[in-house]
């Protein structure tokens, strides 16, 4: 399976922790652990956005790095998509990541689960439906998102399995 | 948290001493020469961590640093996939390079991690004249970036945007084994270590 774009055009954009990207080129998050790869995809424009969300909620008073927090990333991507001319009703959400990788440090490191819950809550509040979901478990994930292929997302998991959402 | 050139030098020296201790123990375990490179110290924005650690499978033995410093910093022994079986084969007296990993390998990895990280901390703590101890270890065999971002996200009270990554590579050419020790101090720990180092090198102390 070709994981690297393969359309011979713009190179894959790697979205680092706390960053986001909007467009129709191939986008990727490398090695998601407790973080979430949050994708908003518009089915009729073949345009989408990807944020690498690290934490459930932004600290009050902060404004920098809106892509880093679940509660700011979802509305941010939605706004950016609408600004690109996407109909709100055509926008769907897919998520991957939110793993709990460390058994021994479970108490402090179950941040993955809390990230997933936070994203779900914000999406419900904004009336966005989550149509693809590969979250939880104990494995890391690398994702490739292809806006021009009906929003296909290829997830390669740390245990070697590959799934599409 | 900007770091000056002289602070980076002092940290590099501290890391050198720790890594040399770890290299000696690895050398004893493998009965082989260990080559050690000069420690790299980088202040990295969280969005660029993937340029330092990727998603190629590796074994990571993870420890929290405890003792007479603010806890919350982490030490990691990183062993890339191809080196895992070579390392445990030498430790367990086995030879098949293509076998699947078992519980025995996991125990061996935890053990080598414990020994090397304890030696690293002994070396650094000795120089600083304090006690530093590793927590019980946690082992993951997965994508290094995923593990490290999970550690950083769990320090949520500090909601960091950048991190100091300290890395030394230790290699055995004889067994074709490569490993690295990563130190990820949190900001309070880094500041404490820097001020201890400053006291050490300031004249009249």
Is residue A8 in some structural domain?
no
Residues 71-90 of A with CB under 8 A from B: none
Which residues from B are below 8 Å from A108, CB to CB?
A: 154
The ipTM, to two decimals, is: 0.90
Please provide the average confidence, as pLDDT, over all residues in chain B: 90
What is the DSSP secondary structure assignment for residue B196, as one 8-state letter?
H
Nearest to B150 among A33, A52, A64 (CB): A33
The number of distinct structural domains making up chain A is 1
**Is B114 within 8 Å of B19 (Cβ atoms)?**
no
Residues of A recognised as catalytic: 35
Tell me if B146 and A32 make a contact (CB, 8 A cut-off): yes
Q: What is the pLDDT, as a whole number, of residue A9?
A: 61
Q: Which of A140, A141, A156 to mutate to test the interface with B (most CBs of B within 10 A)?
A: A140
Q: What percent of chain B has pLDDT over 90?
A: 62
In the predicted model, residues of chain B with pLDDT beneath 50 are 205
Pick the closest to residue B138 from A97, A21, A108 (CA basis).
A108
The C-alpha atoms of residue B22 and residue B3 are separated, in whole angstroms, by 25
Strands A20-23 and A27-32: unpaired
Q: Is 50 exceeded by the pLDDT of residue A1?
A: no
A158 inside 8 A of chain B by CB: yes
What is the DSSP secondary structure assignment for residue B48, as one 8-state letter?
G
Q: What is the pLDDT, as a whole number, of residue A104?
A: 64
Domain B5-197: CATH superfamily is CheC-like (3.40.1550.10)
How far A94 CA sits from the closest chain B CA (Å)? 19
- Domain range for A125 is 13-160
Which whole number is the average pLDDT over A83-105? 90
Bridge partners for A155 per DSSP: A143, A163
pLDDT in tens, A40-81: 999 888 899 999 999 999 888 888 899 999 999 999 999 999
Band the pLDDT of A2: cuts 50, 70, 90. Answer: very low
Is residue A150 in some structural domain?
yes
Is residue A116 in some structural domain?
yes
Torsion of CA B65, B66, B71, B77, to 10 degrees: 10
Is residue A153 in some structural domain?
yes
Tell me if B150 and A108 make a contact (CB, 8 A cut-off): no
Tell me if A111 and B142 make a contact (CB, 8 A cut-off): no
Which residues from B are below 8 Å from A139, CB to CB?
A: 142, 146
Stated as kind and residue range, the H or E segment containing A116 is helix A111-125
pTM of the complete model: 0.90
End-to-end CA, chain B: 26
Q: What is the pLDDT, as a whole number, of residue A19?
A: 97
Q: Is 90 exceeded by the pLDDT of residue A4?
A: no
- Which CATH number is A96's domain given? 3.30.1330.200
Is residue A2 in some structural domain?
no
How far B160 CA sits from the closest chain A CA (Å)? 10
Tell me if B54 and A30 make a contact (CB, 8 A cut-off): yes
Beta strands in B19-67 (DSSP E): 35-36, 40-45, 58-67
């Amino acid at each position: 399976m070709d994981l690297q774009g393969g359309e011979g055009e713009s190179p894959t954009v790697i979205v680092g922790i706390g960053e986001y990207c909007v467009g129709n080129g191939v986008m990727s998050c490398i090695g998601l652990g407790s973080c979430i790869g949050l994708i908003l995809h518009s089915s009729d424009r073949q345009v989408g956005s990807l944020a690498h969300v690290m934490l459930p909620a932004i600290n009050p008073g902060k404004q920098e790095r809106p892509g880093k927090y679940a509660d700011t990333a979802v509305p941010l991507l939605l706004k950016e998509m609408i600004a690109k001319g996407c109909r709100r009703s055509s926008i769907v959400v897919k998520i991957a990541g939110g793993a709990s990788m460390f058994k021994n440090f479970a108490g402090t490191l179950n941040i993955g689960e809390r990230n997933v819950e936070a994203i779900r809550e914000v999406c419900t509040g904004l009336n966005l439906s989550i149509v693809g979901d590969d979250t939880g478990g104990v494995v890391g994930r690398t994702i490739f998102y292809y806006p021009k292929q009906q929003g296909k997302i290829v997830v390669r998991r740390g245990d070697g399995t590959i799934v599409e959402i | 948290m900007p770091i000056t050139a002289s602070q980076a030098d002092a940290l590099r020296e501290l890391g050198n001493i720790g890594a040399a201790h770890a290299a000696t123990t690895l050398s004893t375990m493998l009965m082989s020469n260990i080559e050690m490179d000069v420690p790299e110290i980088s202040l990295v924005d969280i969005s660029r961590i993937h340029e330092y650690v990727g998603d190629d499978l590796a074994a990571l033995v993870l420890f929290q640093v405890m003792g007479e410093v603010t806890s919350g910093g982490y030490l990691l022994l990183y062993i890339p996939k191809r080196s895992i079986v070579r390392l445990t084969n030498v430790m367990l007296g086995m030879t098949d390079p293509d076998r699947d990993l078992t519980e025995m390998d996991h125990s061996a990895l935890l053990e080598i991690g414990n020994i090397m990280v304890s030696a690293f901390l002994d070396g650094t703590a000795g120089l600083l004249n304090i006690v530093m101890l590793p927590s019980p270890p946690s082992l993951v065999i997965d994508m290094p970036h995923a593990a490290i971002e999970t550690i950083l996200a769990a320090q949520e009270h500090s909601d960091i945007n950048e991190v100091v990554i300290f890395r030394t590579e230790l290699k055995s050419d004889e067994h074709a084994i490569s490993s690295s020790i990563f130190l990820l101090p949190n900001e309070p720990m880094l500041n404490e270590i820097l001020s201890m180092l400053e006291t050490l090198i300031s004249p009249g102390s």
